[in-house]
Structure 1
Amino acid sequence: MLGALLWGVVAASSLTLGALLALGRRWSDRVIGGVLAFGAGALISSVAFELSEEGTRTAGPLPVAIGLAVGALSFYLATRALERIGRRGGGGTAGLPLALGALLDGVPEQAVLGIGIASGEGVSIALLVAIFVSNLPEGIGSASDLLKAGRSRRVVLGLWLAVSVACALATIGGYGAAQVAGPGFSGVVDGFAAGALLVMLVDSMIPEAREKAGEIAGLLTVLGFAVGAGLSVLG
C-alpha cells in the first residue's frame, strides 16, 4: 500500500507543479492555449489507449459503457452546479471546470494505478507518464484563469493542493478496492474517468485552447496525442 501511495503522489504532484508554474510568472494567452492543446491531445490518447481499451480488455464493454455514462453525467451536472453557484455569488467560474475535470478524471485514473499495483501487474509507466504530462496543462491553465479572475494566490494554491491530495489518496483507494472487487469494478472506474475527460475536453479544454492559441491549437493537439500514443505503445 505504501508503494501505491508513493506512485500516487508522483502522478498527482504535476497538478500542484502546474499551479506553481502559473503562480511563478504571468503566461501569455497563446502559451497557455498551446499548453492546453498539447495536454488535450495527451488526454485523448489516455482515453483511447489507457482507459477505454484497457477497461474493455479486462472487464468487457458493458462496465466501461456504464462508467462512461456515469462519468460524463457527473462532470456535466457538477459543471452546471458550479455555474449556478458562480452566478449567485456574482462571480465567474473561470478555471474551475478544468480543476473539476482534473478531480473527476484524476481520482479514477489514479485508482486505476492502485488497481494495477494490487493485481500484481505493477505500475503502467505509460499511464503514469500520461497522467503526469496531461496534469500540467490543466494546472497551468486553470490556475492562470483563476488568477486573472481575481482569485488570491493562496486560494489557487490551496485548491490545487486539495485536488492533488485527493488524487493521490485515490491510488490507495483503488489498491484497497481491488482486494475485494472483481474486474468489473476496474472497467467501471476506467469508463468513469474516460467519460468525465471527454465532456471536460469538449466543453472546456479544447474550446479554450483554440480561443487562446489560435490556428496552431489543432496541430499541438495532434502532437500531444502522438506523444501519448507513443508512450502507450512503449508501456
Structure 2
Amino acid sequence: MLEAFLWGALSASALLAGAVIAYQLRPGRRLIAAVMALGTGVLLGSVSFELIDEALKTRTVAAVSLLVLIGAGVFTVGDWLLNRRGGGERKDAGGAQAAGSPLAIVLGSVLDGIPESFVLGLTIMQGQISVALLAGIVLSNLPEGMASSSGLREAKWPERRVLLMWVAVVAVSAVAAVAGYALLDPAQDRTGALVQAFAAGALLAMLSNTLLPEAYEVEGILTGPLVVAGFAASLALSSI
C-alpha cells in the first residue's frame, strides 16, 4: 500500500509543478491547452487498453458497460453539485474563479484527481506501475495545475494559498491510489473487473467534463489531432 500511496502522490505532484510554473513563468494558454489535449489522449488510451480490455476478460460486455455508466454517473453528479456551488470555472486560465466559491474550487479539484489516482492504484495491485497511465496522469495534471493556477493568480489568490490547495489535492490523490490498490483483490478477478469498469467510467466523465472543454476553447479544431496524438503515444507506451 505504501507503494500505491507514493506513486499516487508522485503523479499528483505534477499539479504542484504546474502551479509553480503558472506563478513564476506565466505560460500561454495555447501551450497549456495543447498539453491538456495530449494528456487527455494518453488517458483515453490507458482506459481502453488497461481497464476496459482487462475488465472484458472476466465480465460480459453488458456488465462492463453498466458499470462504466454508473461510474460516469457518480462522477457527474458530484461535478454538478460542485458546479452549482461555485466550482465550475476551476480550470479556467482567465480568472473566472474570482466569481466562484473557494471551497467549491478546492473540492472540485479534489474530485477531478480521484478517478485517475484510483485507477493508478488498481494497476499497481496488478503487479507493476502502468507507464502509459502514469504518463497520462502527469500530462493531464501538469496543464491542469497550470491552467487552474493561472486563473487563480488572475483572481488574486496568493501563491502560498494555491500551493496549499494543491498539497491537499496531492494528499487526497495518494489516498485514492491506496483505495484503488486495496479494492482490487487479484484473487477475485470478477470483483476486480467491476471496479475497473466503474473507475474507467468516472475517468472518462472527468476527461469529458473538465479537460476537453478547456482544451477546445483555446485550441479549437486542433484539439482533435492533439488528442489522437496522445492516444497513439499511449498505445506505444502500453507496450513497454
What band does the TM-score fall into relative to the shorter chain?
A: 0.7 to 0.9
**Corresponding residue to 1:103 among 107, 110, 130:** 110
CA 1:203–1:111 in structure 2 vs 1: closer, same or farther (change >3 Å)? closer
Cα deviation for residue 164 of structure 1 reads 1.0
Moved over 6 A (4+): 96-99
Cα deviation for residue 51 of structure 1 reads 3.3
How many pairs align?
229
Question: Could you tell me the TM-score, scaled by structure 1's length?
Answer: 0.78
Cα deviation for residue 85 of structure 1 reads 11
Counterpart-to-counterpart distance in 2, 1:85 and 1:229: 32
Structure 1 vs Structure 2: percent identity of aligned residues? 41
CA 1:34–1:115 in structure 2 vs 1: closer, same or farther (change >3 Å)? closer
**Corresponding residue to 1:145 among 151, 170, 178:** 151
Partner of residue 18, structure 1? 18
**Corresponding residue to 1:81 among 79, 85, 89:** 85
CA 1:228–1:116 in structure 2 vs 1: closer, same or farther (change >3 Å)? closer
**Corresponding residue to 2:216 among 204, 210, 227:** 210
Gaps of 5+ in 2: 91-96
1:165-201 Cα shifts (integer Å, max 9, x gaps)? 1111222223333459944554454344433443343
Tell me which amino acid in the other structure corresponds to 2:113.
Answer: G
Counterpart-to-counterpart distance in 2, 1:13 and 1:103: 13
Partner of residue 224, structure 1? 230
CA 1:147–1:90 in structure 2 vs 1: closer, same or farther (change >3 Å)? closer
Cα deviation for residue 132 of structure 1 reads 2.1
Most deviating of 107-116 and 182-191: 182-191
Matching of residues 24-173 of structure 1 within 5 Å = 24-57=24-57, 60=60, 61=64, 62-83=66-87, 91-92=99-100, 100=108, 103-119=110-126, 121-173=127-179
Counterpart-to-counterpart distance in 2, 1:85 and 1:165: 22
Give the superposed CA RMSD: 3.4
Cα deviation for residue 43 of structure 1 reads 2.9
Tell me which amino acid in the other structure corresponds to 2:39.
Answer: G
| C-alpha contact (below 8 Å) 2:37/2:223 kept by paired residues | yes
| C-alpha contact (below 8 Å) 2:86/2:99 kept by paired residues | no
Question: Could you tell me the TM-score, scaled by structure 2's length?
Answer: 0.76
1:38-68 Cα shifts (integer Å, max 9, x gaps)? 2222233233333333344455514334323
Tell me which amino acid in the other structure corresponds to 1:156.
Answer: V
Gaps of 5+ in 1: none
